[in-house]
Structure formats: C-alpha cells, structure tokens
C-alpha cells in the first residue's frame, strides 16, 4: 500500500485485537463451520480463473486450499485470490432468503448489540477519518454496506447517507435502524446510477469479493464528479490479523498486497482520481487492512 501512497499523509491506527468485538476462538470456529458448509454445497458450481483478477496475468502459483477451493498468488502483482470460485448464480444464491445456501455473514452481523458496538468501535473511527479529509459534508454512498454500520456512523457526523447491499437479512436489519439501503448487486455497468450526486463513494471490504475489482473501481472513479472522493478499504497480505480469518472466508474472495493496490491506484489515476490519504489500521505488525482515500480533479 505504501507504493500507492508515496508522499501522501498516512495514519497508523488502532491496535489489533482478534477477540474484539466478540470475535473470540469460538466465534471463529462457528464462522468457519458455517462457511465450510456453504463451500461444500457449492463445489459443483465452481469455475476456474485463467487470469489474475487484478493485472490479467496468466502466470500465478498455487498458494493454499480452503475447503477444497484453490487459492493462487499472481507472479506479477502478488495478488492472492481464489482460483476456483463459485459461478455468479451460486454467489447470488448465497444472498437469497429463499435458498437454503444462505451466506453466513448476515447471521453474524444481524445483532442489535453487535451493531451498536461495531458502529462505535469500528465504523465511527473510519467515518471520522474520511470526514477529516473531505471537510464539507454532503451525500455519502456506501457500496456493499452490509447492516449499515458506516452509514449510521457517517450520518451521526452530519452526512446524508445511502447504501447498497445484496444480503436481504442485512438490508432489512439496516432499514429497521432507519437507514436508507437499496437492494442490489453492483457492477461496472450500474454503479454510476447508484453513486450519482455523491460527495463520497466508499467501497469498504468490497473489492475482495468482486470478480472484476479493477473494472468496478475504474467505473466508480469515472462516475464521480470532480472534487469528489472515492474511499477504499481492502484486506492486506501478509498481516498478523489476516491469517486467523482466511479459513473462514466466503468465496469468491481475495487478499490484497502493496503491489495489488498500486495496480488499482494506477488504473483509477487514468480517470484523474488521485490518492489523498491512507490509514494502516494496526500497530501490531503488518496492517490487516488499509483504508485509503482518493479525490478526483
């Protein structure tokens, strides 16, 4: 990430605690068991990627296997990704309440007390970080907003917020908390409609679940108006915090490296979208995630 933010102000954030909030060893075991169950159900729906999702290289090496899903690392940009993800229809079924192959993520985060804790301890510091860079308030759109933690935090700071999410349970939960959340899957063909008029567009922990992350990011940066901001957060590899959670990840999924993010940054610079500020959010060794802000000229 440092290559993407050379000469840009950077902040070193909070200490990493794998047990907070509520993510102790039992939580991890339960999460892994639910993800394993989903993974086994979807094994017949897998496809095999022939190119790196970030740089397009056909040269990558085996990295590991998670629930019989092969992970590879790109030889060119070092991106770490699931080489054998489920197809689009299977992924859509993970977020459908009518299908028994429900994604485990919603069941974990749809909890009133956990929501309150995560808004205060996780979402609010991120919202304050972005607000300190952007200054003037306006409309903020959060793509892949889940239960709406960032929406709630930013709204309390004076932003007009709306979100987009595909998980029906998380959408219903967020709406019960008074949040404006639209239902839908966002891709490069429709993201412009979702983010129209936004001063800030955030994709926090989203790109690692997108089949074509660079294309989505390019479409988002092309759609925002001059003087507006694009905010990203992605998981980092290697990091002390990332390893305990890798076996519990849904597919498709990926983990970004410094060179991966540098490739993404170069792509959106073509749309006159320039890095403004970054936050590596751990002091306990390499950061698990990095939050970056880009602004458009």
Could you read off the pLDDT of 125-152 as tens digits, one per residue?
999 999 999 988 999 999 999 999 999 9
Q: For residue 5, is it within any domain?
A: no
Residues (pLDDT < 70) of the chain are: 1-4, 13-23, 96-107, 238-252, 281-289, 297
Residue 135: predicted pLDDT: 84
The pLDDT tens digits for 205-214 are 899 888 889 9
Residue 224: predicted pLDDT: 92
Q: Would you say the C-alpha torsion 58, 36, 87, 204 has a positive or negative sign? A: negative
Q: For residue 2, is it within any domain?
A: no
Residue 139: predicted pLDDT: 97
Q: For residue 245, is it within any domain?
A: yes
Taking the C-alpha atoms of residue 141 and residue 224, their distance in angstroms, rounded to an integer, is: 11
Residue 250: predicted pLDDT: 45
* CA-wise closest residue to 276 among 235, 233, 234, 229: 229
Task: From residue 13, give the alpha-carbon distance in Å to each of 139, 187, 285, 291.
Answer: 26, 31, 12, 10
Residue 14: predicted pLDDT: 63
Residue 239: predicted pLDDT: 60
Taking the C-alpha atoms of residue 278 and residue 137, their distance in angstroms, rounded to an integer, is: 20
Q: For residue 275, is it within any domain?
A: yes
Residue 159: predicted pLDDT: 97
Q: For residue 1, is it within any domain?
A: no
Taking the C-alpha atoms of residue 161 and residue 158, their distance in angstroms, rounded to an integer, is: 9
Could you give the number of structural domains in the chain? 1
Q: For residue 215, is it within any domain?
A: yes
Tell me the whole-structure pTM to 2 decimals: 0.86
Residue 200: predicted pLDDT: 96
Residue 40: predicted pLDDT: 82
Compute, in degrees rounded to 10, the torsion defined by CA atoms 62, 66, 70, 71.
Answer: -50
Assign residue 216 the CATH number of its domain.
3.40.50.150
Taking the C-alpha atoms of residue 246 and residue 249, their distance in angstroms, rounded to an integer, is: 5
The pLDDT tens digits for 217-236 are 999 999 998 899 999 988 87
- Report whether 152 contacts 173 (CB < 8 A): no
Within a 13 Å sphere around the CA of 160, how many CA atoms are in the beta-carbon half? 7
Domain that holds residue 213: 10-296
Q: For residue 239, is it within any domain?
A: yes
């Amino acid at each position: 990430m440092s290559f993407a933010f050379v000469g840009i102000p950077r902040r070193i954030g909070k200490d990493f605690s794998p047990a907070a909030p509520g993510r102790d060893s039992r939580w991890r075991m339960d999460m892994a068991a639910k993800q394993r169950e989903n993974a086994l159900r979807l094994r017949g729906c897998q496809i095999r990627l022939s190119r790196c999702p970030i740089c397009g290289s056909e040269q990558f090496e085996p990295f590991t296997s998670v629930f019989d899903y092969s992970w590879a690392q790109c030889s060119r940009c070092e991106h770490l990704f699931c080489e054998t993800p489920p197809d689009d229809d299977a992924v859509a079924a993970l977020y459908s309440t009518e299908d028994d192959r429900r994604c485990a993520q919603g069941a974990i985060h749809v909890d009133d007390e956990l929501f309150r804790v995560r808004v205060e301890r996780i979402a609010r510091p991120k919202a304050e970080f972005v607000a300190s860079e952007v200054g003037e308030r306006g409309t903020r759109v959060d793509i892949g907003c889940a239960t709406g933690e960032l929406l709630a935090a930013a709204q309390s700071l004076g932003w007009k917020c709306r979100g987009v999410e595909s998980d029906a349970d998380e959408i219903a939960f967020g709406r019960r908390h008074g949040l404006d959340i639209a239902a839908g899957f966002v891709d490069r063909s429709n993201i412009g409609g979702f983010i129209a008029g936004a001063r800030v567009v955030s994709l926090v922990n989203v790109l690692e679940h997108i089949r074509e992350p660079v294309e989505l990011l390019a479409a988002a940066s092309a759609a925002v108006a001059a003087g507006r901001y694009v905010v990203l957060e992605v998981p980092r590899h290697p990091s002390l915090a990332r390893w305990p959670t890798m076996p519990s990840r849904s597919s498709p999924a990926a983990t970004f490296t410094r060179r991966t993010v540098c490739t993404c940054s170069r792509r959106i610079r073509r749309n006159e979208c320039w890095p403004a500020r970054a936050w590596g959010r751990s002091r306990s060794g390499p950061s698990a995630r990095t939050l970056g802000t880009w602004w458009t000229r």
